[in-house]
Amino acid sequence: MEDDGKKLLSTIFGALEKKIVGQKEVIQKICIALFAQGHVLLEGVPGIAKTLILKNIASLFNFSFKRIQFTPDLLPSDITGSMIFNPSTLNFNPYKGPIFNSIILADEINRAPAKIQSALLQAMQEHEVNLGGENYKLPDPFFVIATQNPIEHEGTYPLPEAQLDRFMFKILINYPSKEEEIAILKNLQSIEEDEISPVFSQINYTNIINNIKKIYCDERILNYITDIVAATRNQTNYALSHLSNYIQWGASTRATIYLLKASKVKAFFEGRNYVIPEDISYVAHEILRHRIILSYEAITENISTDSIIDDIIEHIQVR
């Protein structure tokens, strides 16, 4: 098992390099979330291939895939489906919406109002949808991978905290480097025309998940994880009182669970069968940045959640 994770990650990068130039860390973190069975929120400015990355990863994993463009006039039934009257039988039959696929790309998710966001809450947490008073199971596995644009605020709706907390990762994607943009131009034809062949089957995916669950996590590592999350809630207990004026609310218990799950996948990708502190610090920002609620003082002083997480990781030690 020790070499399987490294070989797997190399296979993923090799399959995607014809379509996606650079962004290896973003791809790796999306894959960590998928193998940790968590949802992903991807934030970046328009035109930097967010949708392209997600569409090709979906093809790579060989899961059923559906893209939903979120707009202000979208209805909950456009996502979940509805009950349709059948005149021949005089009965209402369920029409299953696009959410009944393994990977849902919720494009520009913050352009839809709260009633649309609420349609995703049950699906993201319980992996089922209620139609006509009856619950219908979603495919296994099921992921919501959402994108949002951070620079436009007109015509957008902030995601409810309850929904944000259901995303395992919030990943920030930046502009490519000059060298990467030149490579994009040189390989434009293959990027636009080549198709990604599936690398995984359902059985492959399930076997990998089972191997990841077997990765060992020492008691000291579990204490380290809980200390990091607890420090976001009560700073004075961890000699971080200088942050207490900047944090209004700390991270939830989901953050603790997701830190453990994601760090096991990172260890697997590194070819190890045990978790080390560096695995946790690698995924900490993506798990915590959308769960720490900043105070008004932090906002006025331009204190970011990432800088607070940096401070916490620097101060908390394994014990």
Neighbours of 60 (CB within 10 A): 21
Tens of pLDDT along the chain (319 residues)?
Answer: 445 778 888 888 877 777 777 788 888 899 899 999 999 998 887 777 777 787 888 888 888 888 888 888 888 888 888 878 888 887 888 888 899 988 888 888 888 887 787 778 878 888 888 887 788 899 888 999 888 887 766 667 778 788 888 899 999 888 888 888 888 888 777 777 667 777 777 788 888 899 999 999 999 999 999 999 999 998 888 888 888 889 999 999 999 999 999 999 999 999 899 999 999 999 999 999 999 999 899 899 989 999 999 999 999 888 7
* The pLDDT of residue 2: 42
* The pLDDT of residue 18: 73
* The pLDDT of residue 231: 92
Domains of the chain and any CATH numbers: 4-206 (3.40.50.300), 215-315 (1.10.8.80)
* The pLDDT of residue 3: 52
* The pLDDT of residue 194: 66
